[in-house]
A and B are shown apart, each in its own frame.
Chain A
Amino acid sequence: MSAPQHRAQRRGLGALVLAGSVVFTAALLTALLFQGWQALAALWDWAVATNRGALPEHL
């Protein structure tokens, strides 16, 4: 017996699922990079500010 391959449904569902995965991954990584950048910026702001206060006044 030659079972129907359901090509159209499988391809349609596959394309939808893959596109969704790509979009989700891209969004996740974008959010991660953005959050990382924010964290770095905050870190360096703190470091610079703290460093200025930590140095002797004549320096």
Chain B
Amino acid sequence: MRSEGCALPALLGGLVGLPVLVVAVLNWPIVVAVLLTVLLVAGIVAVTLGALVLTWLYARSVHAVLFAGGHPEEPSPGPGEDPAHRSYHGGPAWSDLRAVIGGTWRVSAPWTLLLAPHLALYAGAVAVHQCAAWVCVGALRAADTALLVVRRVRMVCPHCFRRLGYPAYACECGRCHTAIRPGRRGIWRRVCLCAARMPTLLLFGTADLHTVCPYCTHTLEHRPGEAPELVLPLFGGAGAGKTRLVNGLYRALEQGAEPVPDAYADTVGEGARQWLGEARTVLRPSTRTVPTLPGHPVRGLTVRVGAGGSTLLLQLYDAAGERFTRASTVGELGYLGQATTFLLVVDPLGIDAVWRPLGPAERGKLAPVRSRTRDPELAYTQVLEEVERRVGAAVRRARLGVVVTRGDLLRDTSIAPEGPGQDALVYWAEHTLGLGNLLRSARAHFGRVRVFHTCAVSRPNGEVDPSVSHLLRWVLEGRPPAFGALVEAPELLDGAV
């Protein structure tokens, strides 16, 4: 019975299976097709599911990093770096990409390699973003630089005398940004670590920020970069009249701007206010000028001049005459390497060749105002050597104004110049003042040389003597005509020496 029970299913199986086998053998291509179809469909389903799962994992990682705040922390600025947050193109974009790849790898390990097209798409998007951002950065910096060049803006620190590629700016929190221009920390504006927003270019208003020198960190109150700067060093022996002439130049500008609408000549900074604020008093004939002490730190006295819609920053340098007697002290005057116009101030009374021919009455009258400097060539030589050391052959492009002072005292004396014309002044300087060698050397070294005879005292009505205006007009040559129009049109511009 037990063997019959086992044999029956086998018999039935044989009865059914045999025909099926026969049919299968006879239709073997169909059987093969069915098997391959099953395999193919299973493969397609598996690949589809795998792709969907991998894409889901990748999308989850992208969401976590880019939407849910799971992005890496921004590294703090390192030493020497500006205290500002990085822009998205300045690092976070790539660190986000690394975070997405890392997040996906953690959950799908080697299968992440199958996501290469997705990651390539992400990397391509970041690369395009980077390219666009850095092209913007380059274009903005180029436009800003081009504007500075076209407007002939050169920035010089009046404290350390170094030329500034670009000023530094201090945030309200006190942090100093030395490289504020567009870059990895901002295109249009940057965010200080204190969260304050700052523009990145003069074009966008950095001049409104607290400007400091990137080298000496002194505050620069004259808004450097907004307008061309004219560095004007005055040099000469002690007591030659440099301080009085500086005041005269400022007063001439101030006086010229008074009747012109929208024109102005304002001192910038506390130093200039102290030095030039009393120009009216200093220029009175009765006032004795307080000598500039040799130990007094030399600072540029900045005057902001505006006329005809243009602005000029005039930096006047008035160092003590004692500084020009030794190469070591002249070498400290770095501004000599930044200037293209120089004024050599000469006291004619100090020169023995001038003093000796004077009569006793004239000597008695002029003795109290005679300076101790006997040879103006000493200061000239020291300065020329220093300028040549700093700028080399470029000194040929510089101008030198030889300014003979004491015009008010020499008037009506036996040594007064015979006429106001340049030829007469040159003849007077060479033959009466004994400056022939100096002028010959100046002509050989400087591009242009001119002799002036000034009278830096105010007239009874308070006006500056026209001789100072003439000098100023020459100083302002090459600048917008509106500046020259501020000072009286000279009759003396009849050719250089």
Q: A12 to B483, alpha carbons, bound, how many Å? A: 52
Contact B125 A36 (CB under 8 A): no
Contact A9 B88 (CB under 8 A): yes
Report A-chain residues with C-beta under 8 Å of the C-beta of B55.
Answer: 21-22, 25
Report A-chain residues with C-beta under 8 Å of the C-beta of B58.
Answer: 21
Q: Which residue of B lies closest to A3 (CB)?
A: B74
Q: Is B111 an interface residue (CB 8 A)?
A: no
Q: Is B48 an interface residue (CB 8 A)?
A: yes
Contact A43 B67 (CB under 8 A): no
Of B87, B121, B125, the residue contacting A24 (CB under 8 A) is B121
Nearest CB in chain A: distance from B220 CB, A = 27
Q: A28 to B115, alpha carbons, bound, how many Å? A: 12
Q: A2 to B85, alpha carbons, bound, how many Å? A: 9
Q: A20 to B93, alpha carbons, bound, how many Å? A: 17
Nearest CB in chain B: distance from A57 CB, A = 13
Contact A18 B63 (CB under 8 A): yes
8 Å CB interface, B397-432 against A: none
Contact A59 B26 (CB under 8 A): yes
Q: A56 to B22, alpha carbons, bound, how many Å? A: 13
Of A9, A33, A47, the residue contacting B44 (CB under 8 A) is A33
The verdict on A2 contacting B44 (CB below 8 Å), with A51-B30, A54-B27 known, is no
Nearest CB in chain B: distance from A48 CB, A = 8
Of B47, B59, B76, B126, the residue contacting A13 (CB under 8 A) is B126
Nearest CB in chain B: distance from A34 CB, A = 11
Contact A25 B66 (CB under 8 A): no
8 Å CB interface, A41-59 against B: 43-44, 46-48, 50-51, 54-56, 59
The verdict on A17 contacting B122 (CB below 8 Å), with A10-B88, A43-B37, A47-B29 known, is yes
Contact A10 B96 (CB under 8 A): yes
Nearest CB in chain B: distance from A2 CB, A = 6
Nearest CB in chain A: distance from B238 CB, A = 54
Contact A10 B67 (CB under 8 A): yes
Report B-chain residues with C-beta under 8 Å of the C-beta of A5.
Answer: 69
Contact A6 B88 (CB under 8 A): yes
Q: Which residue of A lies closest to B133 (CB)?
A: A9
Contact B71 A51 (CB under 8 A): no
Nearest CB in chain A: distance from B95 CB, A = 11
Nearest CB in chain A: distance from B71 CB, A = 7
Q: A18 to B100, alpha carbons, bound, how many Å? A: 12
Contact B28 A54 (CB under 8 A): yes
Q: Is B495 an interface residue (CB 8 A)?
A: no
Report A-chain residues with C-beta under 8 Å of the C-beta of B28.
Answer: 51, 54
Contact A50 B66 (CB under 8 A): no
Of A20, A25, A50, the residue contacting B29 (CB under 8 A) is A50
Report B-chain residues with C-beta under 8 Å of the C-beta of A14.
Answer: 62-63, 65-67
Q: Which residue of A lies closest to B67 (CB)?
A: A14
Q: Which residue of B lies closest to A55 (CB)?
A: B26
Contact B33 A43 (CB under 8 A): yes
Q: Is B117 an interface residue (CB 8 A)?
A: yes
The verdict on A16 contacting B33 (CB below 8 Å), with A5-B69, A10-B67, A54-B26 known, is no
Contact A13 B66 (CB under 8 A): yes
Nearest CB in chain B: distance from A18 CB, A = 6
Contact A11 B40 (CB under 8 A): no
Of B40, B73, B117, B193, the residue contacting A39 (CB under 8 A) is B40
Q: A1 to B175, alpha carbons, bound, how many Å? A: 13
Contact B129 A13 (CB under 8 A): yes
Q: A33 to B28, alpha carbons, bound, how many Å? A: 26
Nearest CB in chain A: distance from B382 CB, A = 52
Q: Which residue of A lies closest to B55 (CB)?
A: A25
Contact B59 A10 (CB under 8 A): no
Contact A36 B40 (CB under 8 A): yes
The verdict on A55 contacting B121 (CB below 8 Å), with A14-B66, A39-B40, A43-B33 known, is no
Report B-chain residues with C-beta under 8 Å of the C-beta of A59.
Answer: 26
Nearest CB in chain A: distance from B469 CB, A = 55
Nearest CB in chain B: distance from A40 CB, A = 6
Contact A18 B129 (CB under 8 A): no
Q: Is B118 an interface residue (CB 8 A)?
A: yes
Contact B44 A20 (CB under 8 A): no
Q: A44 to B41, alpha carbons, bound, how many Å? A: 13
Q: Which residue of B lies closest to A59 (CB)?
A: B26
Report B-chain residues with C-beta under 8 Å of the C-beta of A50.
Answer: 29
Report B-chain residues with C-beta under 8 Å of the C-beta of A44.
Answer: 33, 37
Nearest CB in chain A: distance from B122 CB, A = 5
Q: List 12 other contacts, CB 8 Å, given A17-B121, A22-B59.
A: A1-B194, A2-B195, A4-B191, A14-B66, A14-B67, A17-B66, A20-B118, A20-B122, A24-B121, A47-B33, A54-B26, A54-B29
Those 6 A-B pairs whose CB atoms lie nearest each other, nearest first: A14-B66, A47-B33, A50-B29, A9-B88, A6-B88, A51-B29
11 pairs across A/B with beta carbons < 8 Å?
A: A3-B73, A3-B85, A4-B191, A5-B69, A9-B93, A10-B65, A20-B122, A21-B62, A46-B29, A51-B29, A54-B29
